[in-house]
Structure 1
Amino acid sequence: MKPFRVFVVAGEPSGDELAAELVQALRARRPDLVIAGVGGEKLASQGIQSAVSIEGLSVLGLTEGLAALKTVNVRAEETGIAAEAFQPDAVVLIDSWGFTLRAAKAIRSRVPQARLIKMIGPQVFATRPGRAKTVAEVYDALFCIHDFEVPFYEGTGLPVTIIGNPAIARAGKGDGAEFRVRHGLADKKIVLLLPGSRGGEIQRVAPALEGAAALISSKDPLVHVVAVLAPNVAERLEARAANWTFPHTLVGEDEKLDAFAAGDVALACSGTVTTEVALQETPMVLGYRLGAISGFIILNFLLKSRFICLLNIALGRMAIPEFVQNGLTPEALAEAASNLLYDPKAAQDQVSAQALALDKMGRHDPPAAERAAEALLNLLDAA
């Protein structure tokens, strides 16, 4: 029997990382698999050169998505052409809802016999639950993160497998004490500044986080700000940091876990980083802001969840303070972060709540990529 052919598709950095992990897990189980796909540097590190550029696909918000629609459509059609040339038995389309949906349709029209699997579905528990029906119409199977997603797909006939949160398995334990010594910060109060990994987040969220860091630093000479730079926005943040007047240190992703473990409190853009910080037992406050039009539509008409942070959603309560849209101000962030910085009981209560949320999110389960690889091979074997 010929080896199975698998095509993976990732349109932005978080999906690219998961694609690389999935490839590793698949090869560990079936070294004879033939794998190709679309992705970025992480996928390339597994020896898979992307058939299509993913530059310009990492967007957020409704109006921002519309502005990038031409690029998304072109890349999706190119992905369909690449898949047709490869002739896969299965295609795994990871995260990045708008791009992967269009790519899936392009692939279906060109390679109708291929099984299409959506890996990490849209957040139907938070906004637009009707997208569950779309997933069921376009894909042959779904690998989702959380058990609370499953009820949205009941009655659709779509096979759903829970694989868990990819960020949980990635995070080993950082060495906070060594980080402090390495950077001469042993006696400092470390405030982490984590402004996101997308250009839109740097534009709309970073200013409030920076303002909060400045306010906290102005009142305590022992405060030192540590900013962890995501690779794809590192240059933009370095340029912004040139104008910061508060004491700060910039570090790359190679020091991420150590920095998170060293932090006394984090000022963070809501996203995957919140799970990573929670795993290092550091309390945090969160901010998020979309463009004015996108934010108005989503908050007033589409958002179904009371919270935006997955940790809070898992708990069913706001254990981690969230500041969204007009509520995202330096003053509000600084007040909430200072409460955690100077009140040990408040900080410990939040860390305990974060630990409970992580347990609910499956941190003691096998890594997401391994569970996904197992599920994919089962689907192929059963075909």
Structure 2
Amino acid sequence: MSRPLKIMLVAAEASGDALGAGLAKALRTRLGDDVTFVGVGGPRMAAEGVVSPFDIAELSILGWIDGLRAYGKVKRRVAETAALAEREKPDAVVLIDSWGFTIRVAKAIRTARPDVPLIKYVGPQVWASRPGRARTLAGAVDHLLALYGFDAPWFEREGLATTVVGSSALHIDMAHADGAAFRERRGIAADARLLLVLPGSRPSEIARMTPVYEETVRRLKAADPALEIAVIAAGTVAGDVAGRIATWPFRVHLVDEAEKYDAMRAADVALATSGTVSTELALAGAPMVIAYKIDGLSYPLMKRMVTAKHITLFNVAADERIAPEYIQQEATPALLAPAVGRLLSDPGIAREQARRQTAALDQMGRGGPDPSELAADAVLRVIAAKAG
């Protein structure tokens, strides 16, 4: 009797943890006891049987300066991850998102185990900046699982076999998200205006954005003392967020992962740090304002490399600024508070923005096959081709 397949999954932040969990679940649905998992991930992957040797929160690094400061730690974690692959001898390794960490892991595993198939799940956004990364990835892995159709040509031109699986964020089932129940549980009146704040999923994002959001909310509360505030704490940074929010001088409803979709449905408006949550908010029908900051030394370098006009994915897909974006020096309470206040005070404007957000999601492929299922099929095809 042949042994079960052993698949190694590697994720370094909350969004990758969710993708890894979905892939593991889809593979187990197909193979049952004929698959086992090893790797690096967060709580969602752990629930699917991936026991991580370290806490991935320390790898959620944003910007070149943060990266330099954390270089020693990242180097050690790369070595540990490669050693895990050498020790466990998986049939394939799937490296999920987190370009800076996973490209180093790919190269280290290739050196230690040149025979193992390496699959990258989510390529770098070369259409937005640094197109040379497509060639780098093609030289480091065997296959790419891409989220969007516009990703594939960039990598296929470099000879990297690519399967477009779609974005799991576009397939979140909001049917059971209950905004009315959320308001009732929290004692928020049905007609009260509710602002949902999403500070991010990386420690550096929490450190930079929460002070900005606190002052933004203070200004909004001064104009409307009855405004209700809820803050979502992503699982990997929940303790950090809770500690910071505890010092805010007004009532805040702290929301964990289990309640976040209910909260998104309940919100009149959202103020969010750029990331996957913008797609989730759009699926929930919440009009939003997007903000984003990295360290001041990294930003000039990044700005020279970025060619995209927008950073929010549905804005990119629509090629227009549907959701307002406030980046770096513009991400200030003085600009954010009026932008949020405009949506809160004019339901017609808010509804129209939500409608345009939904239309942009359709352009991105909303309603297609389940990405986790397509990703599982692709992983098994790569393994079978290598074995054959």
Distance 1:56 1:237, change over 3 A: closer
Given that 1:218 and 1:246 are in contact with CA atoms closer than 8 Å, whether structure 2 keeps it comes out as no
Q: Residue 64 of structure 1: which of 55, 63, 66 is its match?
A: 66
| 2:237 matched residue in structure 1 | 233
Runs of 4+ in 1 over 4 A off after TM superposition: none
Distance 1:247 1:4, change over 3 A: closer
Given that 1:120 and 1:145 are in contact with CA atoms closer than 8 Å, whether structure 2 keeps it comes out as yes
* Pairing of 1:95-114 with structure 2 (within 5 A): 95-114=97-116
Given that 1:54 and 1:75 are in contact with CA atoms closer than 8 Å, whether structure 2 keeps it comes out as no
Whichever residue aligns with residue 79 of structure 1, its letter is T
| 2:382 matched residue in structure 1 | 379
Q: Residue 147 of structure 1: which of 135, 146, 149 is its match?
A: 149
SS in 2 for 1:366: coil
| 2:12 matched residue in structure 1 | 11
C-alpha displacement at 1:55, in angstroms? 4.8
C-alpha displacement at 1:218, in angstroms? 0.9
Distance 1:144 1:190, change over 3 A: same
Identity of aligned residues (%): 44
SS in 2 for 1:148: coil
Shifted more, 185-194 versus 241-250: the winner is 241-250
| 2:24 matched residue in structure 1 | 23
C-alpha displacement at 1:327, in angstroms? 0.5
Question: Which sections of structure 1, spanning at least 5 residues, go unmatched?
Answer: none
| 2:344 matched residue in structure 1 | 341
Q: Distance in 1 between matches of 2:197 and 2:53?
A: 35
TM-score between the two structures when normalised by the length of structure 1: 0.95
Structure 2 residue 246 is matched with structure 1 residue 245? no
Q: Residue 370 of structure 2: which of 349, 367, 374 is its match?
A: 367
Q: Distance in 2 between matches of 1:105 and 1:227?
A: 39
Question: Which sections of structure 2, spanning at least 5 residues, go unmatched?
Answer: none
Structure 2 residue 314 is matched with structure 1 residue 311? yes
C-alpha displacement at 1:367, in angstroms? 2.2
Please, what is the CA RMSD of the aligned residues? Answer: 1.6
C-alpha displacement at 1:170, in angstroms? 3.2
SS in 2 for 1:56: helix
Given that 1:92 and 1:118 are in contact with CA atoms closer than 8 Å, whether structure 2 keeps it comes out as yes
Q: Distance in 2 between matches of 1:76 and 1:23?
A: 22
1:290-331 deviation line (CA, Å, top 9, x unaligned): 0001111111x1111011111111111100000000011112
Q: Distance in 1 between matches of 2:336 and 2:55?
A: 37
State the number of aligned residues.
382
C-alpha displacement at 1:2, in angstroms? 4.9
Q: Residue 116 of structure 1: which of 115, 118, 130 is its match?
A: 118
| 2:223 matched residue in structure 1 | 219
Q: Distance in 1 between matches of 2:60 and 2:241?
A: 17
1:135-194 deviation line (CA, Å, top 9, x unaligned): 101010101111121221242111111111122223423211111122121231001111
Q: Residue 326 of structure 1: which of 326, 329, 339 is its match?
A: 329
Structure 2 residue 56 is matched with structure 1 residue 54? yes
Distance 1:232 1:48, change over 3 A: closer
Q: Residue 89 of structure 1: which of 91, 102, 120 is its match?
A: 91
Q: Distance in 2 between matches of 1:84 and 1:170?
A: 35
| 2:264 matched residue in structure 1 | 260
SS in 1 for 2:201: coil
Given that 1:63 and 1:293 are in contact with CA atoms closer than 8 Å, whether structure 2 keeps it comes out as yes
